[in-house]
Amino acid sequence: MEYGVVLPVILLVISFVVTFLLAKAIRIIVLISRFQGPLALPLVGNAYAFKSDQREFFVDIQSIFNEYRAKTGGIIRMWLGPAPVLVLYGAKYMEVILSSSQHVRKGFLYRLLEPWLGLGLLTSTGQKWFHRRKMLTPTFHFSILQCFMDVFNEQSTILVKKLEKFADKSETINIFPLVTNCVLDIICDTAMGRCTNAQEDGDNEYVQAVGRMGELVIARAKNPLTWPDYLFGKLNAGKEHDKTLKILHDVTDNMIQERLKEPPSVTHEDEDETVARRRKRIAFLDLLLAMHREDASFTLKDIREEVDTFMFEGHDTTAAAISWAILEIGQHPDIQERLHAELDEVFGDSIRPVTSDDLSRLSYLTRIVKESLRIIPAVPMVARSLDEDIVLDGKVVPKEAMIMLHIYALHQDPQQFPDPDQFDPDRFLPENAEKRHPYAFVPFSAGPRNCIGQKFAMMETKLTLANIFRRFSIESVQTIEGAKPAGQLILRPVEGNILVKLSWRK
């Protein structure tokens, strides 16, 4: 008797849930379909029109964006398989999302990073994200970043010494892996207080695991059939993912345990004084452990999430930014000559370490880095999921809709950046920059969810470039097109090559 009563209730509940989900999905599809976009086919969406080659796919996407820019001002509807996606790449549309404290939830594809990064600053949302952001912001204070200058100088000097053997030999070298290993050593040292010696030992297990994990996540993101965890875990790629994940987490966990056994390097009360007066090197991990000692609710698992996040976000992104800047400078002798003149004015013939005061004086180098990030932003796009309906271009964008914020296409807007393919650092002279829309240039995102480590990244990038160009003149063997940038998690050369020739400064 009870069974006869319960079964209809269960069926009714299931029917209600299915109807609710179906109605929500139909509403999203109907409303997003009101925006303009290219023809899509059932189930496969727009995939039928794209080539499998990464570079050709990237070029095809940009061609579509350029076609619709004049029609829509930078907003386009596309289909990711059966799911509609609204892509924004106009400054006025980007501002609506990026400036909002409401729309801070990342898109669902970020879930693929959670096995590695957990629910850290990159992947978390809601109150947890807000609390974590507020707690971690002081760890990127300028006075804290000052203690990382020694690491930047030490590792970039090792890179320069490795480059010396190629100078004046008319030998083409691939600068990208050399820069990548340098940056990885910097990140490991500053994040965990442990140098992995990637520049000397490229076969280091942790070094290889970081690179491989990025490749596995990218490959999974491209194939919706592998998104379900159960199915992915049964595949060879899923098994390799778990093996690689264990290497990464074991290293971080062991480092945390080692640090816990040591006397505290810093406490919350005296950290500013310690850094300012003694310039003691303090790893990001040390600062997190100090927080843990004061607040047990910030657990060791939370610490691992944030250290792993810092490793992920600060590795390939900065390596790509430095490498693309080298390629651009090497393509433009007139710009390189101006850069050399500025470096000579600040440093003369000295080979002393770079200081933060030096970086503040290198205004032309700053403009070079910004222009390079405009043409090739390290992160080509970010994704959001809406928590409430909004209106864009006079049309309703429904709650839960998938939003892609395409930074690369945004930076190519000829209305904001005339002749956008031309490399011109003077676009970022104050009198020129102030004429643009404030959300026309967002290489580190913008608004409440901007990159917390952007000052760190800019300091690292500028200092590494300064130390390289103080010693060398560089000639690029490739153009940007020849290096084939393509969007994965970051914009990197498809074949892993950025080819240049080096000569000693005369």
CA–CA gap between residue 252 and residue 242 (Å, rounded) = 15
Strand pairing class (485-487; 499-504): unpaired
**Strand 83-88 versus strand 402-406 pairing type:** parallel
Closest CA to 291 of 419, 461, 132: 132
- Candidates 307, 26, 296, 73; CA nearest to 190 is 307
Q: What is the SS3 assignment for 27-80? A: HHHHHHCCCCCCCCECCCECHHHCCCCHHHHHHHHHHHHHHHHHHHCCEEEEEE
- Phi and psi torsions of 354, nearest 5°: -80, 140
Q: Residue 213, Cα to own-chain centre: how many angstroms?
A: 15
Q: Are 106 and 123 in contact (CB under 8 A)?
A: yes
Q: Where are the alpha helices (DSSP H) in 193-331?
A: 205-222, 229-234, 236-261, 271-273, 284-294, 300-313, 316-331
- In single-letter form, the type of residue at position 93 comes to Y
The reply, when asked if residue 195 is annotated as ligand binding, is no
- Round the CA-based radius of gyration of the chain to a whole number and report it: 24
Longest dimension (CA), the chain: 95
CA atoms of 120 and 307, how far apart (whole Å):
9
DSSP 50: S
Q: Where are the alpha helices (DSSP H) in 137-194?
A: 142-145, 149-164, 175-192
Distance CA 496, CA 506 (A): 30
DSSP 118: T
Q: Which helix (H) or strand (E) holds 354?
A: none
Neighbours of 50 (CB within 10 A): 14
CB under 8 A, 24+ apart: contacts of 123-129: 123/309, 129/104
AA identity, residue 209:
A
| CA 487-493-495 angle, 5° bins | 115
DSSP string, 365-424: HHHHHHHHHHHS-SS-EEEEE-SS-EEETTEEE-TT-EEEEEHHHHTT-TTTSSSTTS--
Beta carbons of 82 and 227 less than 8 angstroms apart: no
**First-last CA distance in the chain:** 95
Give the annotated binding-site residues.
451
Give the annotated binding-site residues for heme.
451
